[in-house]
């Protein structure tokens, strides 16, 4: 009795003081033994470690964070309800963080700038070391209207302010890559079935296709990319139209996998073989459409996971992030629909 370790109250986390008492050392020494960054006698260190283990000691990171240093956490605000694009980005980011023993604080702004601002403030109140703003379209967005002492990085949707740091997909370069691949496989009569003419992603992908064709001295069938919408039906009806109008074509670059899927179905319905008669490539590499299906097809993977990782790297690396828009190119996942 007397100098005994105090009985910890039933539902309370043990503190460093409890560990120190159990090990018969001062709090300072216990702290040093645990941190492994100061000279502590080996036997003392062992005693402290055992005591900590015994008590299931879990250091209070709030206290540590309060000491002024970094909290080893970043806040991610996603604007995407569907998660179609943001999920892989988030997972990449989380993976990069976890490898660093850091944590992600997640919020969903639901595309609402007011809510985004509110969440940003809340995350900053928790003293995150940085903020990742994940958009759901490639259109540049207004910057966060908030002074922050920690860095902010925009992902997928870049900030309109060139002084900010943004990471985005290079849709044009990726489409070029896909088209070059088709041309490399001997295709000459290429059609681009694009998304909506107002969508920047659709425009960039169409332009990338056109540029790659032009570089090979080719003009797209129809004279220009055919812009429509993002749905299967557009791919389906476009192929029927092309065939009905007796267009000759041997390759289809589709603006996304849904269009590609519609096109695949139409080609099958008309008795054409892929890639025998027509080569085809989609965009987004969404497995439910291009991999996990009756007739898999090749697709451009935008490497969203890598985008998230890259953004986090930049965010948690000490020093101000490099300003400007960083574009990351995708890569082709081949499933035999090209050649």
Buried b (16+ CB within 10 A) or exposed e, 15-52: bbebbbbbbebeeebbbbbbeeeeebeeebbebbbebb
Q: Which of 61, 99, 224, 323 binds a copy of itself (CB under 8 A)?
A: 61
| Structural contact between residues 80 and 90, judged by C-beta atoms closer than 8 angstroms | no
Scan for tokens 């670059």, then name that residue. 253
17: partner contacted, choices DNA, a copy of itself, none (Cβ within 5-8 A by kind)? DNA
Task: Give Cβ neighbours of residue 79 (< 8 Å, ≥ 6 apart).
Answer: 86, 108, 109, 110, 111, 116, 133, 134, 135, 136, 157
Query: Nearest approach, Cβ of 104 to a copy of itself (angstroms)?
Result: 5
The runs of H, that is alpha helices, within 253-298 are 257-269, 287-290
Q: Which x/- pattern, by CB under 7 A, does the window 12-41 give for DNA?
A: xx-xxx-------xxxxx-xx-xx-xxxxx
CA nearest to 285, candidates 80, 84, 136: 84
Query: Nearest approach, Cβ of 320 to DNA (angstroms)?
Result: 21
Interaction residues for a copy of itself, span 180-199 (CB under 8 A): none
| Interaction of residue 104 with a copy of itself, rule CB under 8 A | yes
| Interaction of residue 165 with DNA, rule CB under 7 A | no
| Interaction of residue 64 with DNA, rule CB under 7 A | yes
The span from the CA of 134 to the CA of 77, in Å, is 6
Binding residues vs a copy of itself (CB under 8 A):
11-13, 56, 58-63, 65-66, 71, 73, 76, 81, 83, 87, 90-91, 94-95, 98, 101, 103-108, 119, 121-127, 147, 149, 231-233, 236, 258, 262, 265, 286, 288-289, 292-294
Binding residues vs DNA (CB under 7 A):
12-13, 15-17, 25-29, 31-32, 34-35, 37-44, 57, 59-60, 63-64, 66-69
């Amino acid at each position: 009795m007397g100098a005994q370790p105090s009985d910890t109250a039933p539902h309370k986390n043990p503190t460093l003081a409890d560990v120190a008492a159990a090990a018969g050392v001062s709090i300072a020494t216990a702290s040093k033994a645990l941190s492994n960054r100061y000279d502590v006698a080996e036997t003392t260190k062992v005693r402290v470690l055992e005591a900590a283990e015994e008590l299931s000691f879990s250091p209070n990171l709030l206290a540590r964070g309060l000491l002024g240093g970094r909290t080893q956490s970043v806040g991610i605000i996603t604007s995407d309800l569907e998660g179609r694009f943001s999920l892989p980005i988030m997972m990449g980011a989380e993976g990069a963080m976890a490898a660093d023993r850091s944590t992600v604080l997640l919020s969903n702004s639901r595309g609402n700038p007011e809510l985004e601002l509110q969440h940003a403030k809340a995350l900053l109140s928790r003293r995150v070391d940085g903020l990742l703003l994940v958009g759901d379209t490639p259109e540049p967005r207004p910057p966060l209207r908030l002074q922050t002492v920690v860095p902010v990085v925009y992902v997928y949707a870049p900030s309109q302010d060139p002084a900010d740091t943004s990471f985005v997909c290079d849709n044009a370069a990726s489409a070029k890559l896909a088209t070059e691949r088709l041309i490399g496989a001997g295709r000459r009569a290429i059609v681009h079935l694009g998304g909506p003419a107002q969508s920047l992603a659709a425009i960039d992908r169409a332009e990338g296709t056109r540029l790659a064709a032009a570089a090979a001295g080719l003009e797209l069938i129809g004279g220009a990319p055919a812009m429509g919408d993002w749905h299967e039906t557009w791919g389906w009806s476009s192929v029927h139209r092309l065939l009905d109008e007796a267009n000759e074509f041997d390759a289809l670059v589709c603006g996304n996998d849904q269009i590609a899927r519609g096109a695949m179905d139409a080609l099958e319905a008309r008795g054409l073989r892929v890639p025998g008669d027509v080569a085809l490539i989609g965009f987004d590499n969404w497995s439910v459409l291009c991999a996990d299906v009756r007739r898999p097809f090749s697709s451009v993977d935008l490497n969203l996971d890598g985008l998230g990782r890259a953004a986090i790297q930049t965010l948690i690396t000490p020093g101000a992030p490099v300003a400007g828009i960083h574009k990351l190119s995708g890569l082709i996942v081949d499933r035999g629909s090209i050649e």
